[in-house]
């Protein structure tokens, strides 16, 4: 089931480690729960196992979850045993429903599953075997497009940054959270590649520690100067004038620009406002949920209390203490300076500027 294959050539190319790779009908995903101490790749061939990998955070980060779900859908489709297109579409919907139940907040999961299903429906005049083959290509297209999108986003975003820039980021919005390159870290990578003098402060991001385990690891491999801080140090740094901007990713953006991202993002946006520091969100158009008018409608996942009471196997809190563990919070649009997408940068009244940018993506 598992193979230890370091993937250092990707880092040398400045794109970071791609968390998913697909060959010979097998999806391999790096187990992000074990980074940075172990680089373990797990093999997936079954949609139920892919759903479990998303739920348990083997793979995480909004765009990466969407890519994994697309392959999960393909595995589910491959295993459906019928020649009837109607029966196939019905069973395929059940496969996608199971995958959709794995995590509630990142809209890219539902976006990818809807794309797979509407693709299948649009080929309903073909034999089931042909639909299946086409679905495998569609999952691959979603994965490959994601890295291209992130590189375009990086180019747009890096133009916002001055020649010398000290950036604070939260969670991991890097190559590991996407099909490759990253969203917030994509902007940082593109700025570094453009020759800008970049320094990063990475929040450790309690409780799951995506910042210390994943972001610090990714940026160190790329040779981008990075300083790890605890989440509660950000305000002090800003008050000392040591942060020029904040860049984060997003799990779901409502039509008005309200943005759900990793818990702690909202506090950073409030702090940035207080200190007059630009606060940027970098996310693909697929992260915008135009069906939600504002952020109050975004479902916020609550995770296992054990993530708060323990680090690894080590208990840090008393037995039976009450715990609240929301995995995300919502940053109101008024605190966001700009939203960076693959189609350009949205500023001002997001109710108008986001649909204008999204227009260019219609397939």
Active site residue ranges: 251
* Residue 30 φ/ψ, nearest 5 degrees: -75, 135
269 burial level (CB within 10 Å; 0-12, 13-18, 19+): buried
Separation in Å, CA 19 to CA 41, 226, 306: 9, 21, 25
Piece of the chain touching ligand MRU by CB under 6 A; list 36-44, 59-67, 194-202, 291-299: 59-67
Tell me the closest approach of the beta carbon of residue 254 to ligand MRU, in angstroms: 15
Q: Which is nearer to ligand MRU, 128 or 254 (CB)?
A: 254
Q: Is 202 in the site for ligand MRU (CB under 6 A)?
A: no
DSSP for 92-129, written as a single string: HHHHHHHHHTS-SS-HHHHHHHHHHHHHHHHTTTS-HH
Among 16, 63, 179, 207, binds ligand MRU (CB under 6 A): 63
Q: Which is nearer to ligand MRU, 18 or 132 (CB)?
A: 18
Q: Which residue has the tokens 């196939």?
A: 88
Q: Which is nearer to ligand MRU, 138 or 147 (CB)?
A: 147
The answer to whether the bond into 207 is cis (omega within 30° of 0) is yes
Separation in Å, CA 139 to CA 54, 97, 169, 299: 16, 17, 30, 26
Among 243, 327, 336, 345, binds ligand MRU (CB under 6 A): 327
Q: Is 252 in the site for ligand MRU (CB under 6 A)?
A: no
3-state helix, strand, coil in the chain (%, to 5): 45, 20, 35
Q: Is 257 in the site for ligand MRU (CB under 6 A)?
A: no
Tell me the closest approach of the beta carbon of residue 39 to ligand MRU, in angstroms: 18
Among 73, 106, 112, 269, binds ligand MRU (CB under 6 A): 106
Q: Which is nearer to ligand MRU, 251 or 342 (CB)?
A: 251
Task: Give the separation between CA 208 and CA 168, rounded to whole angstroms.
Answer: 18
Among 15, 16, 19, 61, binds ligand MRU (CB under 6 A): 61
The residues of the shown chain that bind ligand MRU, judged by CB under 6 A, are 60-63, 106, 171, 173, 177-178, 183, 210, 249-251, 261-262, 327
């Amino acid at each position: 089931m598992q193979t230890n294959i370091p993937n250092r050539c990707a880092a040398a190319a400045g794109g970071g480690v791609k968390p998913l790779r697909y060959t010979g009908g097998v999806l391999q995903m790096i187990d992000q729960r074990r980074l940075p101490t172990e680089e373990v790749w797990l093999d997936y061939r079954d949609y139920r196992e892919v759903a479990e990998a998303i739920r348990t955070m083997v793979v995480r980060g909004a765009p990466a979850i969407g890519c994994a779900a697309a392959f999960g859908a393909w595995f589910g489709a491959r295993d459906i045993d019928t020649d009837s297109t109607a029966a196939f579409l019905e069973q395929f919907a059940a496969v996608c429903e199971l995958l959709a139940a794995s995590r509630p907040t990142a809209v890219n999961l539902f976006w990818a599953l809807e794309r797979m299903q509407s693709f299948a429906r649009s080929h309903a005049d073909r034999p089931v075997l042909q639909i299946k083959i086409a679905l495998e290509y569609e999952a691959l297209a979603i994965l490959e497009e994601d890295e291209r999108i992130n590189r375009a986003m990086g180019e747009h975003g890096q133009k916002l940054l001055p020649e010398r820039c000290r950036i604070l980021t939260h969670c991991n919005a890097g190559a590991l959270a996407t099909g490759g390159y990253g969203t917030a870290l994509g902007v940082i990578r593109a700025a570094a590649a453009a020759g800008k003098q970049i320094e990063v402060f990475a929040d450790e991001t309690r409780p799951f520690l995506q910042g210390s385990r994943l972001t610090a690891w990714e940026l160190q491999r790329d040779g981008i100067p990075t300083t790890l801080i605890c989440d509660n140090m950000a305000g002090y740094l800003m008050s000392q004038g040591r942060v020029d901007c904040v860049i984060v990713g997003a799990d779901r953006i409502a039509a008005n620009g309200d943005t759900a991202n990793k818990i702690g993002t909202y506090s950073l946006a409030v702090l940035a406002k207080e200190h007059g520091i630009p606060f940027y969100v970098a996310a693909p158009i697929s992260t915008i949920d135009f069906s939600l008018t504002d952020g109050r409608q975004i479902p916020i996942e609550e995770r296992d209390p054990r993530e708060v009471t323990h680090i690894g196997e080590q208990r840090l809190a008393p037995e039976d203490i009450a715990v609240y563990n929301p995995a995300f919070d919502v940053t109101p649009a008024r605190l966001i300076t700009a939203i960076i997408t693959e189609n350009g940068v949205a500023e001002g009244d997001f109710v108008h500027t986001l649909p204008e940018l999204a227009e260019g993506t219609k397939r």
